[in-house]
């Protein structure tokens, strides 16, 4: 199906249809075929007797009147219904059809569908606060009525009222909407928020009394308590947590408390002359007066859609995980033949480059094998490609090495050459996106070369620079090959060591 054909079909679908498709997609089960083979009650009886004969030979004598025989058969009869469901679920390919729709909603966004969305109206409000004790108004607790519109504005962030002997004027940001609280038990999967018209930027999560941090890119450390909000239908979201790789996984059974702002998307502007009055003021001893709307802003449709697309690009739910750059590389690197990988995800296109453990350059056949290895892990709607590696030639690296006089300068140069090569070699400490960094080399030498006191990088690729940066998907060529000849030149002030494209000027101090 072409892009235009897909756009044409999506344009004919109403909101309820797309929502239904995505709701089906949340059942993204894909068990192995071995778990869903055709099974009958007779086979169950035979299997039960096989286990009984092995572990409990006294269980039954197999006669028709034996109570053990009866229990096995009646258990099998009651299970027949379950087998029917399992067998038909597999034979009708319902599992796989469901998996195909996993990213239907996301693809519709990329291919031109403009979803219903919630863009909050942000208000800058000026008010006078009476003197009194210091007080912190929690978010969502200060509510103001916009009488002309019949709407309620709530504070998006906590407001600190400082102690003051005189009245003062302050500005605070409010949104036209209502804060909601939803609680659910964490069972190892994502948390589905039941409301629509959610402002995802106001979502906050508390688990076991601790606040977790919202990340749009979801590249947290393994131990970090982070989550991301992923759109699952029109202006509604589900929350994803880490799996102890790119973020900490909450404890199973933990209570997850979620706060977020919702409001009908039916107003785009609030006139500064609107009549504003206090509906709820938790700081009862601090009077609020002279409340005015200073300004009113709202995201444009383009900005809102861009937010959705950016969030969609984070990943999609696959086997209770998130597919993103980091987890994709972890998956690829788990293949024994692959040492390192680089993944690029642009919209719904995933491109992977690989380094083999054999240190041979990956062939087209190697890349095809990679495709087949992880085909089952690629979510529906994503195009997966492999690409040849791109290299930056390292034609020259010249350094000055300072060593103490009691050290054999030739041995120091040889040792330093190995450390320098290893620190930038793609198969050792280097890799995708790792260039030449003076600090990295200096630290490596300090840890591994005896008698070393300092180093300076004089030139890289015949330019007087001390660092060389490369793009995240590029690799450096080797600075020398093992079979390259080593040469030494001596003068009254220094010893010059050369091997391949590496030059070390060693100065004894």
pLDDT, tens only, 428-440: 889 999 999 888 8
| Mean pLDDT value of segment 387-396 | 92
Please give the average per-residue pLDDT across 65-82, as a whole number. Answer: 55
pLDDT tens for 59-73 read 556 565 555 555 655
- Under the banding of pLDDT at 50, 70 and 90, the label for residue 28 is very low
**CA neighbor of 25 nearest in space, from 209, 201, 187, 230:** 230
* Of residues 78 and 151, more confidently modeled: 151
* More reliable by pLDDT, 216 or 84: 216
Whole-Å CA distances, 86 to 24, 91, 97, 119, 487: 18, 9, 15, 44, 72
**Residue 326 near residue 246 (C-beta atoms within 8 A):** yes
The pLDDT tens digits of the residues spanning 321-336 come to: 345 676 677 778 878 8
Model confidence pLDDT, tens digit, residues 448-485: 887 888 888 899 999 988 889 999 889 999 999 888 99
- Core vs surface per residue 314-337: b (16+ CB within 10 A) or e: bbbbbeebbbbbbbbbebbeebee
Question: What is the C-alpha end-to-end distance of the chain, expressed in Å?
Answer: 72
State mean pLDDT over 418-437.
Answer: 90
**Residue 98 pLDDT:** 38
pLDDT in tens, 398-411: 999 888 888 888 88
The SS3 assignment for 314 reads coil
The number of residues in the chain equals 509
Please report, for the chain, the start and end positions of each structural domain, with discontinuous segments joined by +.
3-110, 118-309, 323-388, 392-508
Percent of the chain with pLDDT over 90: 11
pTM of the model: 0.42
Strands 390-392 and 474-476: parallel
What's residue 31's pLDDT?
A: 38
Which alpha helices (H) appear in 262-401, and where do they start and end?
301-312, 325-333, 364-373
HSE-CB at 66 with a 13 A cutoff on CA atoms is: 12
* Higher pLDDT, residue 98 or 501: 501
Cβ contact 104:381 at 8 Å? yes
Contact yes or no for 207/239 (Cβ under 8 A): no
Is the pLDDT higher at 131 or at 30? 131
Pull the structure tokens for residue 310.
């950016």
Using 50, 70 and 90 to split pLDDT, how confident is the model at 316? very low
Indicate the pairing of strand 210-214 with strand 226-233. parallel
Q: For residue 474, give the DSSP letter.
A: E
Rg (CA), the chain: 32
Assess whether pLDDT exceeds 90 at residue 78.
no
More confident residue, 32 or 338: 338
Measured in whole angstroms, the distance separating CA 366 from the mean position of its chain's CA atoms is 27
Domain 323-388: CATH class, spelled out: alpha beta
What's the helix, strand, coil split of the chain in %, to 5? 25, 35, 40
β-bridge partners, 437: 467
What distance lies between CA 146 and its chain's CA centroid? 39
pLDDT tens-digit map of 477-502: 999 988 899 999 988 888 999 999 99
More confident residue, 117 or 228: 228
Q: What is the pLDDT of residue 196?
A: 74
Q: Using CA atoms, how far apart are residues 130 and 289, in angstroms rounded to an integer?
A: 8
State phi, psi for 19 to the nearest 5 degrees: -65, -40
- Taking residues 45-50, report their average pLDDT: 66
Average pLDDT over residues 225-245: 73
Cα 468 to Cα 397: distance, rounded to the nearest angstrom: 10
Dist CA 79 CA 68 (whole Å): 17
Tokens of 490: 């001596």
Residues with Cβ within 8 Å of 493's Cβ and at least 6 positions away in sequence, in order, are 507
């Amino acid at each position: 199906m072409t892009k235009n054909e897909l756009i044409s079909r999506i344009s004919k679908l109403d909101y309820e249809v797309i929502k239904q498709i995505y709701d089906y997609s949340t059942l993204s089960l894909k068990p192995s075929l071995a778990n869903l083979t055709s099974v009958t009650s007779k086979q169950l009886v035979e299997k039960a007797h096989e286990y009984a004969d092995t572990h409990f030979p006294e269980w039954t004598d197999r006669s028709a009147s034996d109570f053990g025989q009866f229990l096995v058969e009646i258990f099998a009869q009651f299970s027949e219904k379950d087998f029917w469901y399992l067998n038909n679920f597999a034979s009708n390919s319902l599992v796989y059809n469901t998996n195909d729709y996993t990213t239907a909603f996301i693809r519709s966004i990329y291919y031109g569908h403009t979803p219903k969305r919630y863009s909050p109206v942000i208000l800058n409000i000026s008010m006078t606060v009476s003197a009194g004790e210091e007080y912190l108004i929690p978010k969502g607790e200060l509510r103001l009525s916009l009488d002309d519109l019949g709407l309620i504005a709530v504070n998006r962030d906590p407001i600190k009222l400082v102690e003051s002997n005189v009245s003062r004027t302050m500005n605070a940001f409010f949104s036209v909407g209502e804060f909601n609280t939803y609680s659910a038990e964490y069972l190892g999967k994502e948390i589905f928020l039941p409301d629509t018209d959610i402002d995802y930027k106001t979502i906050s999560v508390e688990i076991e009394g601790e606040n977790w941090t919202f990340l749009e890119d979801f590249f947290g450390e393994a131990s970090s308590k982070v989550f991301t909000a992923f759109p699952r239908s029109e202006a509604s979201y589900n929350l994803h947590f880490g799996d102890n790789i790119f973020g900490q996984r909450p404890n199973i059974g933990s209570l997850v408390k979620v706060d977020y702002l919702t409001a009908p998307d039916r107003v785009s502007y609030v006139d500064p002359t609107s009549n504003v009055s206090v509906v709820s003021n938790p700081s009862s001893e601090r009077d609020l007066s002279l409340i005015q709307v200073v300004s009113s802003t709202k995201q444009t449709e383009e900005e809102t859609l861009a937010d959705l697309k950016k969030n969609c690009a984070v990943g999609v739910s696959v086997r209770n995980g998130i597919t993103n750059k980091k987890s994709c590389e972890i998956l690829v690197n788990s293949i024994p033949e692959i040492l390192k990988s680089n993944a690029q995800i642009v919209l719904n296109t995933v491109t992977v480059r690989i380094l083999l453990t054999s240190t041979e350059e990956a062939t087209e056949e190697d890349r095809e094998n990679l495709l087949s290895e992880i085909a089952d892990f690629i979510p529906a709607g994503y195009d997966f490609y492999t690409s040849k590696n791109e290299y930056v030639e390292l034609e020259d690296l010249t350094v000055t090495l300072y060593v103490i006089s009691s050290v054999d300068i030739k041995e120091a140069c040889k040792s330093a050459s190995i450390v320098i090569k290893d620190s930038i070699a793609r198969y050792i400490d280097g890799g995708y996106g790792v260039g030449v960094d003076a600090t990295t080399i200096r630290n490596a030498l300090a840890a591994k070369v005896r008698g070393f006191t300092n180093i300076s990088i004089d030139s890289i690729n015949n330019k007087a620079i001390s660092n060389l940066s490369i793009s995240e998907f590029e690799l450096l060529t080797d600075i020398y090959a093992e079979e390259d000849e080593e040469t030494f030149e001596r003068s009254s002030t220094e010893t010059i060591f050369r091997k391949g494209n590496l030059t070390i000027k060693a100065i004894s101090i």
